[in-house]
Structure 1
Amino acid sequence: MKPLVIGLDFGTESARALLLDLDSGLELAVAVEPYPHGVLTHRLPSGQPLPELWALHHPADYLQVSQVLLQKMRFEAYKSDGEIVGLGIDTTASSPLPTDALGTPLALKEGFEHQPHAYLKLWKHHAAEPYAQAINLAHPGFLQMYGGTTSAEWSLAKAWQVLEEAPEVWEATARWIEVGDWLVWQFTGQEVRSSCQAGYKAHWQPTGYPEAAQLRALRPGLESWLDKLAWPHPVGQKAGGLSQAWAQHTGLPAGIPVATASIDAHAAVLGVGVQESGVLVAILGTSSCHLTLSRAATPVPGIAGIVADGILPGLYGYECGQPASGDMLAWWVRTLAWAGQVPENQIFEQLNLELAQRTARPSGLLALDWWNGCRTPLMNASLKGALSGLDLATDPPQIYQALIEATALGTRWVKETLERAVGSLPRVVVTGGLSKIPAIVQILANVLGCEVEASSTSHASARGAALYAAMAAGFPLPPAPPAHSFIPNSMAYLDLYPSYRSLAEYFGFVQTKEVRN
């Protein structure tokens, strides 16, 4: 029987499962399940209202959708006459949850159902921003590999928020754990953490987590965070075998290897077939994540994370990003939909059709891609977007194109920032929702001034999770999915970059300096 692996990809609104044939590299089946409770932003299931900037998940949803998806993959494997030999997991991050010593989420325990801090804090939970800023203002030494700053989206700031605002929850928390690591624990019965999750989101480095004295200096008692963590293991390793209970729930063979968890964007690097240095992988979605590999760790301001074994064993994984890409386009489409009372999907389609006719020339406008702050290289979440060059002849497709150009220009800045650390990045591979729109990738190639490869897989993260399962099971990896190449077809875009950097110089560096002073 042909060997098959499953990749489980847990996103913000839903989870996805992918069944991969290791002999051919073909993606045999894909299934998607929405979370029953959705994203909790206004109230808990109990009716308890939530403040602004909160974003929670119900931990039971992960178990429910996992069971459904794994049952579907078992059925697809049976139809294809294949044998499932491994399971891999990727999740959003940092999306931590508090549990007791046995791994039961506090949100599922009596007495905590009305307590918001007992639930899983989703990556986009931004209510911990005051705690992130307090860490950044202290300039602790453990931020060296993170561009000198942490984020409200990361583990420590969220932990501090619980300690400060709900001490009774923090007292009851035996384990503070990323949801990907928690799922590995549920599937195998063993708590095995991931260097990907811990390194990029909990400031873990090969020397360890931040020192207790550093945390105590931030806030007495914060060092208790360390007691609720565990030493992580590289990605691609076997965390354990699928438990008998989960085998019975799903029909999968008991004992098949379950790989250590990874972050969704980081799994996409393996998913598009990149296993070597000298390549920039950009995941273009609602936000953009930029990743590359290197044999050395070279801290450079603006690089959000450098982690050993964080993407592939034996290599350092570098992470950068733009907090708004597709989100900017969605904002403009919502604005037009509101004004014209036209369905948003029709507006997207119209704008993309128009864009395809305009890629040979720039929009004539200039935008800064900071609709949700600037991650790389300014590391300032308070920065705002800008749009310059408007006149009475400006039309909606021009603004749409300018926002896409801004993402491309920001990507060029990210690429140059990474090259300061790792050297030349002559190859660029893109994936994610925006990479499926040819006109957008063409503009990116024009702005970067180099060939851009758009991976053919529509499920790079889930595919990557499946490939980690193959590594954990000891199987060779299949060939990379094919890619479509985009070659620059207009030199005019190259003139935009100096203007973009000049605009960023004022609205970015000046304002960032004022904020930090």
Structure 2
Amino acid sequence: MSKIYFVGVDVGSGSVRAALVDELGHTSIRNLQTWKPKPDFFEQSSNNVWDCCVHVIKTVVQNVDSANVKGIGFDATCSLVALDKNGNPKAVSDSKNNEQNIIMWMDHRAQAEADLINKTEHEILKYVGGKVSLEMEMPKLLWLKKNLPNDWTDYGYFFDLPDFLTWKATGSMSRSLCSLVCKWNYEYSSDGRKGWNITFLEQIGLEDLSNEDFKKIGKKVLMPGDYCGGLTNDVAKALNLLPGTPVATSIIDAHAGGLGMIGARDLGQGIDNAMSSRLGLICGTSTCHMAVNEKPIIVKGVWGPYFSAMVPNMWLNEAGQSASGMLLDYIIASHPAGVKLLQNSTTGDVRNHLRGLLTKMANSQGLEHVSLLTKDLHVWPDFHGNRSPLADPTMKGMIIGLTIDISEENLAVLYLATIQALSYGTRHIIDELVQAGYTPFKSLPICGGITKDPLFVQTQADSVGLPILKPHEKESVLVGAAVLGACASSFFNNVEAAVQSMGGLADVVMPNPAIKSYHDKKYLVFLKMFHDQKEYRSIMNN
């Protein structure tokens, strides 16, 4: 019997990857181009993104009979794609370079527009933790209208990047419920109301998006994993696949990671398999925290509840940290010792070196655990603002305990303190979710680039006091995308069945109870740091 394959495609912040689910070691990757025309501006090219998608898909299927590729699933960052009325790229800043037609998720240009939207206090904002983030699409659309008024009427279509990919593959103008409810303030309420909220669009000055039956932003909305169309003849030819190959309705990249690992099973250690007992962490440039529940739970400062945004018929709350992997890279690259180390080594090599230094330092000082090295060094990790649970993009990073020391040992301890701070950020989010009504979590499935660092994974477990589930499959995001492709092909009856079948096994990393009291103390300092920062701000504003 011939093997059956599904292709998962992941468009991250810096690269595009694709894999065959039956041989996930066979992965292709292609780097993306990013422009930074001004401070806090991050732009990309939809042509570049799609060309990279074609390259990686074509690469992973080159030795496979095209008839055996039964479905394709896409995920991508929640970035805004702007096209003209003919479907061609259109610039999103005064550079007028139409190749720069994507406003990336991490772009922070729309602070004033987000503030304006939040001042409306519209009822729909309760589904995004009480206020929109400037990383979402409505603030960015409002920025375009206010800052490029002569171009505004020339825009023909706006897509979330995951939906742009399915449009390019199939020609379908449908949108994913995942993208719309999470990033576009599309209404899907607990009482059954759904659709674009006209009063909200009117209050924020974007009522013209309703013209021609919402043509610019989409009217047909499908669930992630639904069949959205087959590959067009031209695209199929470019990919060396069959025309009509099923393409699934897309999903946001972090949500794909959650989907790919939330069904992972431990090796006989009795970890609860219920999806609602798990908080999924997808750790890359930023970190997303995914929690699902059978009932909608409103959590201040946390996005959602979103209906069917990740797992069909379950409510999703999405928290996160705007900078995690990006922050750790910055800590290394901005330290004099890190600059020297990076001259002849990769970031991964430097992290391995720092872990070794920490072990040596702990041993030489007679400490039972490396975590104890940070007793006098504390970090508040919001160097790029706070996504959750404070929902305050104006928060800044803080370091307490600096000395005149440019040694590698000093960098190692600072690196460790930053990892701990990110872990305390996860604990802060968990506290808010449980206080709002979530049953205490039993485990944390975790995936993403940072999880290659065992110190990061163990510190997460120790800091929150919960076991970590680390899937054997290293590419959970690609698995999640492939799960959608499997559903679109009707190979599985529903997403839940695909998740349970394709989730695979996971190793369990248990917390170390011997240092719980140490982390409890550091967590108290962590909480006090943001109160102190707010007090400093109040003093200066007065």
**If the length of structure 1 is used for normalisation, what is the TM-score?**
0.89
- Structure-2 separation of matches of 1:326 and 1:134: 31
1:233 aligned to 2:248?
A: no
Residue 454 of structure 1: aligned partner: 470
| One-letter amino acid of the counterpart of residue 353, structure 1 | G
Distance change (3 Å), C-alpha of 1:339 and 1:428: closer
2:59 match: secondary structure: helix
1:444 aligned to 2:460?
A: yes
- Structure-2 separation of matches of 1:136 and 1:516: 21
1:31 aligned to 2:28?
A: yes
8 Å CA contact 1:4, 1:82 repeated in 2: no
Residue 447 of structure 2: aligned partner: 431
2:334 match: secondary structure: helix
Distance change (3 Å), C-alpha of 1:303 and 1:117: farther
When structure 1 is superposed on structure 2, of 69-78 and 276-285 the one drifting more is: 69-78
Residue 500 of structure 1: aligned partner: 526
- Structure-1 separation of matches of 2:469 and 2:176: 29
Residue 215 of structure 1: aligned partner: 201
Residue 14 of structure 1: aligned partner: 15
Deviations 1:285-324 (A, max 9, x none): 2221100111111112021232111001111111000112
Equivalent residue runs for 1:340-419 within 5 Å:
341-343=340-342, 345=346, 346-356=349-359, 358=362, 359-362=369-372, 363-364=374-375, 365-390=377-402, 395-419=410-434
- Structure-2 separation of matches of 1:417 and 1:134: 26
Equivalent residue runs for 1:59-458 within 5 Å:
59-78=46-65, 83-93=68-78, 95-101=79-85, 103-106=87-90, 114-115=96-97, 119-206=101-188, 207-209=193-195, 211-219=197-205, 224=210, 226-231=214-219, 232-274=221-263, 276-337=275-336, 341-343=340-342, 345=346, 346-356=349-359, 358=362, 359-362=369-372, 363-364=374-375, 365-390=377-402, 395-419=410-434, 420-458=436-474
Deviations 1:82-130 (A, max 9, x none): 811000000100x12222455333359xxx9935697121112221222
1:267 match: secondary structure: helix
- Structure-2 separation of matches of 1:16 and 1:148: 34
- Structure-2 separation of matches of 1:97 and 1:319: 22
2:62 match: secondary structure: helix
**If the length of structure 2 is used for normalisation, what is the TM-score?**
0.85
8 Å CA contact 1:404, 1:440 repeated in 2: yes
- Structure-1 separation of matches of 2:86 and 2:276: 40
1:407 match: secondary structure: helix
| One-letter amino acid of the counterpart of residue 109, structure 2 | A
Following superposition, the deviation at residue 372 of structure 1 comes to: 1.3
- Structure-1 separation of matches of 2:403 and 2:88: 58
- Structure-1 separation of matches of 2:524 and 2:104: 37
| One-letter amino acid of the counterpart of residue 433, structure 1 | G
- Structure-2 separation of matches of 1:514 and 1:305: 33
- Structure-1 separation of matches of 2:123 and 2:208: 16
When structure 1 is superposed on structure 2, of 270-279 and 410-419 the one drifting more is: 270-279
2:417 match: secondary structure: helix
| One-letter amino acid of the counterpart of residue 178, structure 2 | C
Deviations 1:250-297 (A, max 9, x none): 111111210011100000012114382211001122221100111111
- Structure-1 separation of matches of 2:538 and 2:47: 44
Deviations 1:373-393 (A, max 9, x none): 111111101111222244568
| One-letter amino acid of the counterpart of residue 431, structure 1 | C
- Structure-1 separation of matches of 2:228 and 2:196: 24
Residue 56 of structure 1: aligned partner: 43
- Structure-2 separation of matches of 1:481 and 1:516: 53
| One-letter amino acid of the counterpart of residue 32, structure 1 | I
- Structure-1 separation of matches of 2:540 and 2:447: 34
2:61 match: secondary structure: helix
Please, which runs of 5 or more residues in structure 2 have no aligned partner? 264-273, 363-368, 493-497
Following superposition, the deviation at residue 8 of structure 1 comes to: 0.7
Deviations 1:216-266 (A, max 9, x none): 233375655855222421111111111122111111111121001110000
When structure 1 is superposed on structure 2, of 493-502 and 371-380 the one drifting more is: 493-502
1:76 match: secondary structure: coil
- Structure-1 separation of matches of 2:63 and 2:175: 30
8 Å CA contact 2:281, 2:447 repeated in 1: yes
Please, which runs of 5 or more residues in structure 1 have no aligned partner? 43-50
- Structure-2 separation of matches of 1:223 and 1:512: 38
Residue 481 of structure 1: aligned partner: 504
Q: State the identity %.
A: 24
Following superposition, the deviation at residue 167 of structure 1 comes to: 2.2
Distance change (3 Å), C-alpha of 1:166 and 1:246: same
| One-letter amino acid of the counterpart of residue 224, structure 2 | V
- Structure-2 separation of matches of 1:347 and 1:483: 27
When structure 1 is superposed on structure 2, of 26-35 and 84-93 the one drifting more is: 26-35
Number of equivalences: 496
Distance change (3 Å), C-alpha of 1:161 and 1:412: same
8 Å CA contact 2:332, 2:338 repeated in 1: no
- Structure-2 separation of matches of 1:514 and 1:320: 30
Deviations 1:398-417 (A, max 9, x none): 21111111011110111122
8 Å CA contact 2:16, 2:30 repeated in 1: yes
When structure 1 is superposed on structure 2, of 99-108 and 234-243 the one drifting more is: 99-108
Distance change (3 Å), C-alpha of 1:77 and 1:418: farther
Following superposition, the deviation at residue 160 of structure 1 comes to: 0.7
Following superposition, the deviation at residue 494 of structure 1 comes to: 2.9
Distance change (3 Å), C-alpha of 1:118 and 1:69: closer
8 Å CA contact 2:209, 2:216 repeated in 1: no
Residue 47 of structure 1: aligned partner: none
1:300 match: secondary structure: coil
8 Å CA contact 2:24, 2:475 repeated in 1: no
When structure 1 is superposed on structure 2, of 185-194 and 325-334 the one drifting more is: 325-334
| One-letter amino acid of the counterpart of residue 2, structure 1 | K
